Amino acid sequence: MITKDLSIIREKLKQGELIGLPTETVYGLAANVFNSKAVASIFTTKNRPTTNPLIVHVASINQVRALVKRFPEKASLLAKHFWPGPLTMILPKNQVVSGLVTADNDHVAIRIPNHPTALSLLNQLDFPLVAPSANPFNRISPTTAEHVDAYFPSIYTLDGGPCSSGVESTIVGFEDDEVILLRHGAISMEILESQVGRLLNRTAASEHASLPGQHKKHYSPNCQLIVTYEPLFMLSAIKHKKVGILWYQSVPIESIYVEVNLVLAPSGDLAEAAQNLFSALHTLDKMGLDLIIVERLPAQGLGNTMNDRLDRAATQ
């Protein structure tokens, strides 16, 4: 069920139920962080392993301070520049955050989302919200209320329109004086580095991957997906299949013998491409194709974030 009525959503959350939460990145499946039963039902509803920790969403820095033991100096600097926004920080938790939320880690993931509807909801609640993306485990992340409703029709989803970023938040951690990049996301590595200097890259793609819950297979459509710089070359090797191709900027004239061609960003703007990525995958996923071929994005800025998601979607 989709609603714009904040009072229904508040009531459901107070009763310990889950709701669909709009954010600027993707929609979340949200619950009261202090209600263990509600938190537990996130894992069962998504069919998500409990070893995969959850992000806590708050409305203000004061609420962050109530959940953590320490707030490193570089975290303050990042917060000043990027909160509210699509940046998740891994911080040492205090005892009010249960191990269920953090998969028994002594650190908790926190962010202040930059979405007016999410912020007004969070401001009206006297508890923060835990929210993983609102998709069943391994499936494509939702960027509209309708995507969430198709996955979870029996829960109330708060309609906040299509997500403006379209890919998940960037995740960073802290070690001594270093900032560690743990997941590529809606804020590119380059933009973060312009504010805090060099990051240590420990994303799943790097050789130092150590993040709990960074599963290699993720974001998957129902059919096979291939990501390549040369979609037509791949296509030439495939016969008798219903194929859809997702292009970065434009459709080459040779690409007429496929079921469907979609384009992410005619202007080449990577932010526009990111905004459209999951939505385009949802559209292709619903077409009953045998194969989806996606043109790999340039390996820079948000292109790295999208390639990360696509490589996971392509993992069998």
Q: Give me the least distance between CB of 266 and ligand TXA, in Å please.
A: 26
Applying CB under 5 A, the span of 34-42, 133-141, 229-237, 264-272 interacting with Mg ion comes to: 133-141
Q: Give me the least distance between CB of 261 and ligand TXA, in Å please.
A: 29
Residue nearest to ligand TXA (CB): 132
Query: Is 157 an interacting residue with respect to ligand TXA (CB under 6 A)?
Result: no
User: Could you tell me how many residues of this chain bind ligand TXA (CB under 6 A)?
Assistant: 26
Query: Is 102 an interacting residue with respect to ligand TXA (CB under 6 A)?
Result: yes
**283 contacts 144 by C-beta, under 8 angstroms:** no
Q: Give me the least distance between CB of 109 and ligand TXA, in Å please.
A: 3
The 179-218 site mask, x for binding ligand TXA (CB under 6 A), equals --------------------------------xxxx----
User: For residues 91 and 289, which CB has a smaller minimum distance to ligand TXA in the complex?
Assistant: 91
Nearest of 160, 54, 53 to residue 116 by alpha carbon: 160
User: For residues 23 and 133, which CB has a smaller minimum distance to Mg ion in the complex?
Assistant: 133
Partner whose binding site includes residue 212, from ligand TXA, Mg ion, none (CB under 5 to 8 Å by kind): ligand TXA
- In the 3-class helix/strand/coil scheme, how is the chain assigned residue by residue? CEECCHHHHHHHHHCCCCEEECCCCCCEEEEECCCHHHHHHHHHHHCCCCCCCCEEECCCHHHHHCCECCCCHHHHHHHHHHCCCCEEEEEEECCCCCHHHHCCCCEEEEECCCCHHHHHHHHHCCCCEECCECCCCCECCCCCHHHHHHHCCCCEEECCCCCCCCCCCEEEEEECCEEEEEECCCCCHHHHHHHHCCCEECCCCCCCCCCCCCCCCCCECCCEEEEECCHHHHHHCCCCCCEEEEECCCCCCCCCCCCEEEECCCCCCHHHHHHHHHHHHHHHHCCCCCEEEEECCCCCCHHHHHHHHHHHHHCC
Contact positions with ligand TXA (CB under 6 A) in 52-91: 52-55, 86, 88, 90
Q: Please list, residue by residue across 99-112, b when 16 or more beta carbons sit within 10 angstroms of its beta carbon and e when fewer do.
A: ebbbeebebbbbbb
Among 67, 97, 171, 314, binds ligand TXA (CB under 6 A): 171
User: For residues 171 and 291, which CB has a smaller minimum distance to ligand TXA in the complex?
Assistant: 171
Contact positions with ligand TXA (CB under 6 A) in 18-37: 23, 25-26, 28
Query: Is 133 an interacting residue with respect to Mg ion (CB under 5 A)?
Result: yes
User: For residues 206 and 250, which CB has a smaller minimum distance to ligand TXA in the complex?
Assistant: 206
Q: Give me the least distance between CB of 159 and ligand TXA, in Å please.
A: 15
Q: Which chain residues interact with Mg ion by CB under 5 A?
A: 133
Applying CB under 6 A, which residues contact ligand TXA?
23, 25-26, 28, 52-55, 86, 88, 90, 102, 105, 107-109, 131-133, 168-169, 171, 211-214
